[in-house]
Structure 1
């Protein structure tokens, strides 16, 4: 398994990591993702470790803490062999006005609770799950810095931030000498390339590595969706399509057609090709793969250890190209001064 530096830090992570959103299955949304229990989680962890996948990502709101708890049980006796990543910011308790956001109060309590559920003394990578516009950036960063100095967190990152959210945070960290964000857990896929417009150039300039979530476009690039065919009965999109990023049908089919053609050339699956394309993109440190069962996991693991040819990458780039929002479409017209990140 290839390892890459996480942003500008000295810390290395595997290019494929395992996302545990399928652990627990509590609530309608996460039940549609999966209902992996402790026994099955241990088997999935075993497969990951055998393949060199040592990083496991979770969050406090995944099945109301059950994902963290199940991951903690599954990692018993091998904590020193793995990298644990988790997140907090979104509302955890509907009855507590302080159980949300990135305030000092909530972050300290959220980290302590995550440590207990994960049965560990430290979190390798802790990320804010979203931006909190109601808490001063200085309060958030000073709190995270205290948690790093206390040894409860080793590296920090963000998720679902806009460019200015991230840059403002980095500027404040530099001003006061706080721990800098080195990770951006971001939505990025062949049918969701908005990350390239601003966050990718920012990541290169500021040394922030991408941890890619939903790399198969909210389950649309698994190889099960085809032009003119009904959605498979087992697809979670029946329940979750409206909760994720919208994708025009014709655009999706155009990308899938290109993936199918390359699948015929390579003998790889559609999902493996979509994941491998991401592994060749600038700033990408690791791609989170998920699985509801062992078969899905083994198939996704086949995305690493080989590379698409430059011509195949160009084919996928062209098939998935869209006109970005302003001012990005304007900047693309002056590639001499604003080239695509490399």
Structure 2
């Protein structure tokens, strides 16, 4: 059994041959341009702690903190560039007045990659994600543009985020049909408070050979136990991007149910002598489709706490409690197929062992 006890116990990214750490360092908190990030000195502390512990998988995006995230990262990785796997993303608009400064189309793709290369001060991007599906650009335009970038050497591997499973399958099938570079990674929200991706996206990733990189594995901080019922007041519902709590509140996750899930996480953390963050991360790491959850610390203390999740062992009783507290409601068609009547019709009353993946 592969161990996740340290950052230098590397994993393969999907069906690619590239090796990455079992926790990725998220850098959306690098830079204070959005009102709640860390300054250059704090970013350096976090980055150094991660890399010196053996970490090699860094996550950013062209628009994070208005480009400050990539610029700070570009300075931090000097002298150790070749041992790092840098992932960044394109899609989000950088100039609200320009309709072509956002989207999945070739124009924004090429401009974004050139901007990222400049901000990172590098000649290549190991992993480029499409950040979110825009529902306007054709699959052919997207995959041909991404393949051109791989052939140019400016991008080495491709990934996708925040896109419906049916569209990811279409893109992957198109790449195989045309002989274009395939997707190797899927970045999606996944945590104890966001498990609906288990219905379609996680099984799809396993079938299509995509390594899953969960973002917000701590549910935006809810699973750390720092929020309570007083935070459910109506004044927090709208949220504002300049305040971290407002961002979480506007995501829809700051609910009574999420707080109940968090309370179970806190209880288990107390029982095993860990922190709630470590328990939540350890649970996410158990999923066989998951390659590396993204940790997005704002302080060195938070980063060091998160990294210790790799040594946490959850008992089956703990896992059962967490699964029960957070189980998503079944959806069609799995809800329908799982009914006794349909199971009888499909299998005729015989016991059939499920396929092992």
Instruction: Normalising by structure 2, report the TM-score.
Output: 0.87
* 1:241-274 Cα distance to aligned partner (Å, 9 max, x none): 343243531x223312321232122101111000
- Structure 2 residue runs of 5 or longer lacking an equivalent are 1-6, 233-242, 344-350
Give the distance between the partners of 2:353 and 2:35, measured in 1 at CA: 44
Query: Which range moves more in the overlay, 176-185 or 86-95?
Result: 86-95
Q: Give the match for residue 67 of structure 2.
A: 65
Equivalent of residue 78 in structure 2, options 60, 76, 82: 76
Q: Give the match for residue 320 of structure 1.
A: 326
CA change 1:340–1:74 in 2 (3 A) is farther
Q: Secondary structure at the match of 1:24?
A: coil
The count of aligned residue pairs is: 333
Query: Which range moves more in the overlay, 169-178 or 217-226?
Result: 217-226
Report the alpha carbon displacement of residue 25 of structure 1 after superposing the two structures with TM.
2.3
Equivalent of residue 13 in structure 1, options 17, 20, 32: 20
8 A Cα contact 2:131 2:160, kept in partner: yes
8 A Cα contact 2:193 2:253, kept in partner: no
Q: Give the match for residue 259 of structure 1.
A: 265
8 A Cα contact 1:156 1:180, kept in partner: yes
Q: Give the match for residue 218 of structure 1.
A: 220
Q: Give the match for residue 246 of structure 2.
A: 239
Q: Give the match for residue 87 of structure 1.
A: 89
Q: Give the match for residue 298 of structure 1.
A: 304
Give the distance between the partners of 2:354 and 2:192, measured in 1 at CA: 20
CA change 1:5–1:62 in 2 (3 A) is same
* 1:282-337 Cα distance to aligned partner (Å, 9 max, x none): 21010100111111111111111332122221221111113133334334547888
Give the distance between the partners of 1:297 and 1:338, measured in 2 at CA: 42
Report the alpha carbon displacement of residue 107 of structure 1 after superposing the two structures with TM.
0.7
CA change 1:103–1:299 in 2 (3 A) is same
* 1:160-196 Cα distance to aligned partner (Å, 9 max, x none): 0111110110111111011111111100000110111
8 A Cα contact 1:3 1:13, kept in partner: yes
Give the distance between the partners of 1:243 and 1:114, measured in 2 at CA: 28
Q: Does 2:35 correspond to 1:31?
A: yes
The residue correspondences of 1:88-167 to structure 2 (distance < 5 A) are 88-167=90-169
Q: Give the match for residue 44 of structure 1.
A: 46
Q: Give the match for residue 188 of structure 1.
A: 190
8 A Cα contact 1:84 1:125, kept in partner: yes
Q: Does 2:277 correspond to 1:271?
A: yes
8 A Cα contact 1:38 1:73, kept in partner: no
* 1:105-124 Cα distance to aligned partner (Å, 9 max, x none): 21111111100100111111
8 A Cα contact 1:38 1:74, kept in partner: no
Give the distance between the partners of 2:188 and 2:231, measured in 1 at CA: 29
Q: Secondary structure at the match of 2:314?
A: coil
* 1:197-223 Cα distance to aligned partner (Å, 9 max, x none): 101110111101111100011210112
Report the alpha carbon displacement of residue 60 of structure 1 after superposing the two structures with TM.
1.2
8 A Cα contact 2:205 2:211, kept in partner: yes
8 A Cα contact 2:248 2:254, kept in partner: no
- Structure 1 residue runs of 5 or longer lacking an equivalent are none
Q: Does 2:286 correspond to 1:280?
A: yes
Q: Secondary structure at the match of 1:296?
A: helix
8 A Cα contact 1:190 1:255, kept in partner: yes
8 A Cα contact 2:205 2:289, kept in partner: yes
8 A Cα contact 1:187 1:212, kept in partner: yes
Report the alpha carbon displacement of residue 237 of structure 1 after superposing the two structures with TM.
5.0
Give the distance between the partners of 1:84 and 1:136, measured in 2 at CA: 27
Q: Secondary structure at the match of 1:291?
A: coil
